């Protein structure tokens, strides 16, 4: 579909590399930012040139066993014999090399270069330590005409194991410039409208979105979502296709709204489309972030407040804040120098359970019995990710917690308790 510009840019180097007959490079490493056409280019090249290849996504085959077996299964499907492929079992790379030799030997492809493309190759780093180096010198290990192509979004330097390995041929796919994006996006215009009309629309779209998003896929998605709105004046007969200014006036605020809502997945694309269809205002639909209020049981609210206070106040100040007769504290010495920076900038600090309960007892009016319910509430706050446990200590050993909610969240809780934080 796309006439890919990266092919054009790098056609010559590609053509040299993809040899049909001779032994070619043992491994090629291709990297570039999201949607710069790495996967697409590889796939189209291999299929159009009809080169024998295996294409595997490393995220999908998340263990080394799955990955190796998948490669072997795809190889089997290449073989011309119709006999049903027996289930493959391949646990180690050693097995893989053996089975790979068998699979290649059984076919007439021996003289052609076989390409193994590993997409999202950064996942390889999380598998066993031998997988990545072994893939890089697969040609050497199997003594067959095979090239491994690694596709990744990160640079080679982050791959290199500290013991060193075979260095692949690296290649960079640069990002598309705005001009490229414009040309690629304008290519598939809807059949009912002229290419110029659509290209003008893409121009406006890029004007709004280019600052925040350069992902081709996402841009194309957004273009498809909002195109009907762009056409509206034309359909209604209020403007003709050349009336760019009128069309721009119609679509620009709409796109800006789209940037704040549908682009961030605050509301879903289907909701957005329905909204467009009904002609409603986007303000009617509340996004995900609008529902930030969490309703909590009474004591959970206080527990959370106590946890917040414990996390952001130094221990020394507890006596002053929560005791009625705390005695005099000299102002000059009270705050140490490093404590003068806002505690909110430093983030939450861990505190022991006892301190949490002590603060809780001093901020709740009536007496709270230390019942099992209170303790289970603390645990459920942890499962709700409102508190987090620091260190996987034994429960008996005095667990330590951190409060992970923001000041706004606490403010909302305080507001719901009608208890002004600053007043007391």
Residue ranges binding other proteins (CB under 8 A): 34, 57, 59-63, 66, 69-70, 87, 188, 190-192, 215, 217-218, 220-221, 223-225, 227-228, 264-265, 268-271, 286, 288-289, 291-300, 354, 358, 369-377, 380, 383-386, 395-398
Which residue shows structure tokens 């080394």? Answer: 64
Nearer to other proteins, 3 or 341 (CB): 3
Nearer to other proteins, 190 or 207 (CB): 190
Question: Minimum Å distance from CB 24 to other proteins?
Answer: 28
Query: Cα–Cα distance between 377 and 384 in angstroms, integer?
Result: 10
Nearer to other proteins, 178 or 224 (CB): 224
**CA-wise closest residue to 41 among 1, 66, 15, 6:** 6
Nearer to other proteins, 111 or 295 (CB): 295
**CA-wise closest residue to 14 among 179, 135, 171:** 171
- Is residue 304 exposed (0-12), middle (13-18) or buried (19+ Cβ within 10 Å)? buried
Query: Cα–Cα distance between 87 and 323 in angstroms, integer?
Result: 72
CB 363, CB 306: distance < 8 Å:
yes
Nearer to other proteins, 87 or 327 (CB): 87
Query: Cα–Cα distance between 65 and 61 in angstroms, integer?
Result: 8
- Phi and psi at 142, nearest 5°, equal -95, -20
CB 81, CB 19: distance < 8 Å:
no
Which residue shows structure tokens 């598939």? Answer: 188
Nearer to other proteins, 92 or 270 (CB): 270
Nearer to other proteins, 248 or 361 (CB): 361
Orientation of helix 5-17 relative to helix 38-48, angle to 10°: 50
Token code pair at residue 65? 């066993």
Cα angle 125-123-160, degrees, rounded to a multiple of 5: 35
Residues ≥6 apart with Cβ < 8 Å to 187 = 1, 2, 3
Question: Minimum Å distance from CB 111 to other proteins?
Answer: 30
Query: Cα–Cα distance between 112 and 72 in angstroms, integer?
Result: 17
Nearer to other proteins, 127 or 136 (CB): 127
Nearer to other proteins, 127 or 149 (CB): 127
Question: Minimum Å distance from CB 169 to other proteins?
Answer: 27
Question: Minimum Å distance from CB 11 to other proteins?
Answer: 27
DSSP codes joined into one string, 72-99: HHHHHHHSS--SPPPPP---SHHHHHHH
Question: Minimum Å distance from CB 88 to other proteins?
Answer: 9
């Amino acid at each position: 579909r796309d006439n890919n510009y990266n092919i054009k840019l790098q056609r010559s180097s590609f053509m040299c590399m993809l040899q049909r007959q001779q032994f070619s490079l043992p491994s090629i490493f291709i990297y570039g930012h999201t949607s710069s056409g790495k996967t697409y280019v590889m796939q189209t090249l291999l299929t159009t040139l009809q080169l024998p290849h295996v294409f595997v996504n490393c995220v999908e085959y998340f263990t080394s066993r799955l990955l190796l077996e998948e490669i072997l299964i795809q190889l089997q499907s290449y073989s011309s014999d119709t006999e049903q492929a027996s289930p493959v079992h391949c646990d180690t790379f050693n097995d893989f090399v053996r089975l790979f030799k068998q699979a290649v030997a059984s076919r007439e492809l021996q003289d052609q270069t076989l390409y193994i493309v590993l997409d999202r190759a950064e996942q390889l780093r999380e598998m066993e330590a031998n997988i990545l180096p072994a893939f890089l010198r697969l040609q050497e290990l199997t003594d067959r005409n095979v090239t491994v192509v690694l596709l990744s979004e990160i640079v080679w330097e982050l791959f290199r194991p500290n013991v060193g390995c075979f260095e692949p041929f690296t290649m960079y796919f640069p990002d598309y410039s705005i001009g490229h994006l414009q040309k690629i996006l304008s290519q598939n215009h809807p059949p009912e409208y002229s290419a110029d009309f659509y290209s003008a629309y893409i121009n406006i779209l890029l004007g709004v979105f280019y600052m925040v998003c350069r992902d081709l896929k996402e841009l194309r998605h957004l273009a498809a979502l909002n195109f009907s709105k762009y056409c509206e004046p034309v359909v209604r007969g209020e403007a003709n296709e050349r009336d760019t200014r009128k069309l721009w006036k119609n679509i620009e605020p709409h796109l800006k709204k789209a940037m704040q809502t549908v682009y961030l997945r605050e509301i879903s694309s289907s909701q957005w489309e329905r909204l467009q269809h009904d002609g409603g205002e986007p303000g009617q639909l509340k996004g995900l972030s609008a529902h930030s209020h969490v309703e909590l049981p009474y004591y959970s609210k206080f527990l959370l407040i106590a946890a917040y206070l414990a996390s952001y106040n130094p221990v020394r100040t507890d006596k002053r804040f929560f005791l009625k007769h705390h005695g005099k504290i000299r102002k000059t010495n009270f705050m140490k120098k490093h404590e003068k920076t806002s505690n909110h900038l430093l983030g939450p600090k861990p505190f022991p359970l006892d301190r949490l309960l002590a603060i809780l007892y001093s901020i709740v009016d009536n007496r709270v019995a230390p019942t099992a319910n209170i303790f289970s509430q603390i645990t459920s706050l942890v499962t709700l990710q409102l508190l987090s446990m620091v260190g996987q200590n034994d429960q008996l050993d005095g667990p330590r917690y951190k409060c992970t909610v923001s000041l706004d969240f606490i403010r909302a809780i305080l507001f719901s308790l009608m208890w002004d934080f600053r007043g007391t």
